[in-house]
Structure 1
Amino acid sequence: MLIINPSNPCGSVYSHDHLAQIAETAGELGILIIADEVYDHLAFGDKPFIPMGVFGKTAPVITLGAISKRWLVPGWRLGWIATCDPNGILKETKVDQSIQNYINITSDPATFIQGAVPQIIANTKEEYFNKILDLLRTSADLCYGKIKGIRGITCPHKPEGSMFVMAKLDLSCLDGFSDDIDFCCKLAKEESVIVLPGSALGMKDWLRITFAIDLVSLEDGLERLNSFCERHAKV
């Protein structure tokens, strides 16, 4: 079972009770949990981030993490795999050995990144992370508020983490679009605004919007999106 928390692309953060129910279900089914927690320190809403590993006694957990998001270095493709398996299920089934074997055949990150990581993890001050969370919280509020005023687009869930939000595209309110891909292509051509069509994520007629940019650019992009929808609105 794969869990992405905080979520890309929805911006949701799961509660302790919800994660506990997921772990109980996995335990009953006799399956392991793969927890993608790349955005673990980018939860800025009311719900605190709860690592899936705390439920390791209920079901074995393999946690995926990376340096790219919390430290804002997306080009540094360096991550890690951690297991939480107090009952020894992964060891007994040799899943842990399979993980080690796979790591041994993959290419390593650049040496300068490997050399920098210990210093980055040990010496980055807490003020840096707090500033990032404040910026993301402000930009998420701006994004959510602006989307509510755009015709043909609704945002059912205010983002509480990560850097993205999903918005529902109602093409019945708009004219001249066949689907979300067509909408995004014409938006890019007419307004130079890039959003990801939901079809790329298996969510037809949805849009994935990132708010991890400076507030001026974000507001300008959302204003262009609004102008685009007004121009193509059905009379």
Structure 2
Amino acid sequence: MSIPAMLSANDINVVEGTVQDVEGNTYRTVQIGEQVWLAENLRSTEFQDGSKIKTAFIPDDDEQNLLKYGRLYDWHDVTDERNICPVGWRVASDEDWKELEKTIGIPEAEVNKKGWRGDNDIAITIKESQPDTLFKKFDQSQVNKYKFFASAAGVKLSRWYITQGMYTEFWTSSNATDKDAYNRTLAYSWWNPHKGEIRRTTISKNYMFSVRCIKN
């Protein structure tokens, strides 16, 4: 790992570095509070043992989207015991996400709720960008404050790619039911009133979403 550069954001230490996966892909990393996260979406096509991941699709099957958006995985690959993350890392759980959300300012009373949560446009602090719209202006000094670089990769369902540029959906490793698991959603589209919030919900494990890993 490279020597990190120390930044400060509202008294939260934000420490940047890098890590490689088993294929040699290099990722930015960021420490936010006590957690160390990938600061970009996972791009791996192999588990830690070198076996191939069944999903791992590039949005729109366009190689030009790989570095910007990473790959999209179904939940079965996300939770496979062979581990899709770099060695020493894991797919972030629902609890990991809740800790991040509390660190960046979502009240303790809200983190366990389902649906859109967070006030004061808290979500823009982890988004790579958030343009102003006709209906709302954002404090651009707060955009990507925590160097998380979330971007609107969209999702894949069966053969179709949808919502690119409008939403990013992150899987968590946390199971909900036989068919559903927990995820996180960020909204980007001009017409969506929840662009400043983070959604916690459960959804079919057959969707293919972006993945963020967290250091063990």
| TM-score, with structure 2 as normaliser | 0.26
Name whichever structure is richer in strand by fraction: 2
Q: Which has the higher contact order (CA 8 A, sep 6+)?
A: 2
Q: Which has the greater radius of gyration?
A: 1
TM-score, with length taken from structure 1: 0.25
